[in-house]
Amino acid sequence: MEELDSLSGKLLIAMPGMPDSRFRQTVTYLCGHNSDGALGIVINRPSDMKLGEVFEQLSLDSRDLDLANQSILKGGPVNRERGFVLHEAGGSWDSTISICGNIEVTTSRDVLSAIAGGKGPRRALLALGCAGWGEGQLERELRSNSWLVVDATEEILFETPYEQRWAASAALLGVDVSRLGLQAGNA
């Protein structure tokens, strides 16, 4: 099997003809990728749930209305009840993995408590669920042209409006997704 460099810290941009409807027009941040598989968080599918509701469920007090109104993302079809906080580095949380550069992912409640109290990472997003690929699965999808790959930027992760992330991520490669066809293949 051919060896691929780790894609951790990259964005996967779904091609217009993505066969899996759960990932059509998605942008997925890869938190981990190795020979055993990959794990990522979809960063452009907001749910109807708001961060304030999560704070309330966890009995966390926050008076920041902008923060409370932030949408929770649908991070993917795997572990949909589990929260993943993607945030800029800094702080010391119980279950944090440093991904790439200034980006970390935390799955413990302490980071949410700090965010609610105004003492957490300045820029963060919360997703319920994640996307997962088994051994060699992502590599096969890449060879079948289901995804474009680009380096993640903090601007895309934390500043670009959700509905613009798909096109904005592709634009980092100089690609206009509105001009791409639905069929993909190899010449």
For residue 3, what pLDDT is reported?
45
For residue 4, what pLDDT is reported?
52
Whole-number Å distance between alpha carbons of 187 and 17:
17
- Supply the range of the domain harboring residue 158: 10-179
User: Is 3 a member of any domain?
Assistant: no
147 with 114: CB under 8 angstroms?
no
What's this model's pTM, rounded to 2 decimal places?
0.91
User: Is 147 a member of any domain?
Assistant: yes
User: Is 144 a member of any domain?
Assistant: yes
Phi-psi region of 54 (alpha: psi -120 to 50; beta: other; left: phi over 0): alpha
Cβ burial of 87 (10 Å; 0-12, 13-18, 19+) is: buried
User: Is 5 a member of any domain?
Assistant: no
As for how many domains the chain has, the answer is 1
* pLDDT < 50: residue spans in the chain: 1-3, 186-187
For residue 180, what pLDDT is reported?
75
User: Is 119 a member of any domain?
Assistant: yes
Whole-number Å distance between alpha carbons of 7 and 72:
25
User: Is 2 a member of any domain?
Assistant: no
CATH number at residue 144: 3.40.1740.10
Tokens of residue 112, six digits: 């949410």
User: Is 39 a member of any domain?
Assistant: yes
